[in-house]
Amino acid sequence: MSNQPIISSQKLDRIFDEGEEDIREYLDFSKAHRPGLEMTTLNETNLKNLYESDEHLWLEETIKLLKEKRLNDLDIEHLIEELESLGKRDKNRVSSFLEQIIRHLLLLQYWDAEKDRNNNHWRAEIQSFRTQLRKYLTTNLQNYLVEELDNIYNDALDYVQEKTGFTINFPKKCPYRFEELLNKKWFPSKD
């Protein structure tokens, strides 16, 4: 039995209309019901629709389902898509940091015409990118970078060749070991 005082609907209407008294004490919200808005059980179909309309809420509901081990209700198709996207984003992030490190090392080591003016800037940039890379680097991402080092170097090489007006003969293969690229105390010596 509820502890709310019992009053007639006419009296409740009058109290509400007058607005001088708080009517919440007369209401039992635990049994509140809005016709047509009954709670539906979240299932795969509902979750797929939610993904299209509110991706953030979809993510929250997916996490909730995973925690509750309700695997049959998951929107597997979109979950796989999001996980693949997450992995790709992380690989792109660490690749970009490593490419920036290589760019600045090449400029520091080989672009003598700008060295006096930019030496400190390039060294500071190298340190900044190394720091950022270390924050995101995992064993799997490190293995990925080692595998992709030649491609990342070629992208960095394209950039520095364009930046220097193709006036410098940069090495065709990466002259740096992976460990050197990550070592915050290491800088190349002039050949």
Q: Are residues 129 and 151 in the same domain?
A: yes
In a domain, 28, yes or no: no
Choice between 131 and 22, residue whose per-residue pLDDT is larger: 131
Q: Are residues 104 and 169 in the same domain?
A: yes
Q: Are residues 129 and 67 in the same domain?
A: no
In a domain, 23, yes or no: no
Calculate the average pLDDT of the chain. Answer: 87
pLDDT at 48: 85
Please compute the mean of the pLDDT values over residues 119-147 and round it to a whole number.
Answer: 97
Q: Are residues 115 and 172 in the same domain?
A: yes
Q: Which two tokens stand for residue 185?
A: 């105390």
Tally of structural domains, the chain: 2
In a domain, 155, yes or no: yes
Q: Are residues 67 and 99 in the same domain?
A: no
Residue 14 has pLDDT above 50, yes or no: yes
pLDDT at 52: 87
Q: CA-to-CA distance for 183 and 46, rounded, in angstroms?
A: 49
Q: Could you tell me the residue range of the domain that residue 113 belongs to?
A: 88-182
Please compute the mean of the pLDDT values over residues 145-166 and round it to a whole number.
Answer: 98
Choice between 156 and 15, residue whose per-residue pLDDT is larger: 156
Choice between 173 and 4, residue whose per-residue pLDDT is larger: 173
Choice between 75 and 44, residue whose per-residue pLDDT is larger: 75
Residues above pLDDT 90, as percent of the chain? 67
Looking at residue 189, the DSSP 8-state letter turns out to be P
Looking at residue 5, the DSSP 8-state letter turns out to be P
Instruction: Give the dihedral sign, CA 79/85/91/96.
Output: negative
Q: Are residues 62 and 121 in the same domain?
A: no
Please compute the mean of the pLDDT values over residues 148-177 and round it to a whole number.
Answer: 97
| Rg, Å, the chain Cα set | 31
Choice between 7 and 127, residue whose per-residue pLDDT is larger: 127
Most distant CA pair in the chain, distance: 95
Q: Are residues 153 and 176 in the same domain?
A: yes
In a domain, 139, yes or no: yes
In a domain, 7, yes or no: no
Instruction: Give the domain-ending residue among 20, 49, 74.
Output: 74
Q: Are residues 97 and 177 in the same domain?
A: yes
In a domain, 83, yes or no: no
pLDDT at 30: 58
DSSP states of 49-116 as a string? HHHHH-HHHHHHHHHHHHHTT-GGGS-HHHHHHHHHHHHHHHHHHHHHHHHHHHHHHHHHHH-HHHHH
pLDDT at 37: 41
Q: Are residues 108 and 66 in the same domain?
A: no
pLDDT at 38: 43
Please compute the mean of the pLDDT values over residues 74-98 and round it to a whole number.
Answer: 95
In a domain, 35, yes or no: no
In a domain, 19, yes or no: no
